[in-house]
Amino acid sequence: KSGFVAIIGRPNVGKSTLLNYVVGQKVAIMSNVAQTTRNKIQGIYTSPEAQIIFIDTPGIHKPSTKLGDFMEKSAMSALDEVDAVLFVVSATEKRGPGDDFIIERLKKVKQPIFLVVNKIDQINPNDLPEIVDQYKDTLPFKDIVPISALQGNNVNSLINDLIKIL
Ligand code: GDP
Ligand code: MG
């Protein structure tokens, strides 16, 4: 099995940390390799079962210039080319305008979207339902996966979820 997965989220939620953990020592990070003109391969996860190519979509944030607007539209159309989208949010911060902007954009996306609630090592587990409630009805998430990208908690389960839909 193989496929492409885009990682999206506002700055500092832990996208790079997640990618580094997933990709680990198993692969070469190919940060400068072009996949299309619109997006780039950030890393490849390989196991005997599957190969998952992770795509960076850096343009998806609130654009403030014409160039930014162009880049945002390009990044959005790149989402049609992936098999799944990981929408990463931080459990340590409240949902904000940056998240809302991404949610609005993702409403047009037909591919399965996973809500990845990162940094759960920083919160009381009793607070998790309240954190998830801020997002759970905003999009038809395929699954909601709490993780710690830093410590690797539950990341395997996220990968298994992805493999199931490839
Ligand atoms: P990005 O901007 O979304 O790529 O975020 P980064 O991966 O650069 O992470 C931003 C900051 O959050 C860094 O200081 C990371 O070490 C930290 N971070 C990322 N994931 C976790 C996590 O699961 N737990 C904790 N405690 N910190 C994290
Ligand atoms: Mg980053």
pLDDT digits (tens, 9 = 90+) for 67-104: 777 767 777 777 888 999 999 999 999 999 989 989 99
- pLDDT band at 141; cut points 50, 70, 90: very high
**For a substitution probing ligand 1, which of 8, 12, 29, 124 has the most ligand atoms within 8 Å of its CB?**
12
CB atoms within 10 A of CB 165: 15
Angstrom distance (rounded) from CA 165 to CA 85: 11
pLDDT at residue 46 is higher than 60: yes
Angstrom distance (rounded) from CA 119 to CA 109: 26
- Domain extent listing, the chain: 2-165
Cβ–Cβ under 8 Å, residues 120 and 90: no
User: The CATH number of 2-165 is which of 3.40.720.10, 3.40.50.300, 3.40.50.9100, 2.30.42.10?
Assistant: 3.40.50.300
Angstrom distance (rounded) from CA 83 to CA 71: 21
Extended strands (E) in 13-121: 40-46, 51-56, 84-90, 113-118
Q: Verify whether ligand 1 is closer than 6 Å to residue 149 (CB atom).
A: yes
Q: Verify whether ligand 1 is closer than 6 Å to residue 118 (CB atom).
A: yes
Cβ–Cβ under 8 Å, residues 121 and 88: no
- pLDDT band at 62; cut points 50, 70, 90: low
Model confidence pLDDT, tens digit, residues 5-32: 999 998 889 988 898 898 874 444 444 4
SS3 content of the chain, % helix, strand, coil (to 5): 35, 25, 40
**For a substitution probing ligand 1, which of 10, 150, 153 has the most ligand atoms within 8 Å of its CB?**
150
pLDDT at residue 136 is higher than 70: yes
Confidence (pTM)? 0.89
Q: Verify whether ligand 1 is closer than 6 Å to residue 125 (CB atom).
A: no
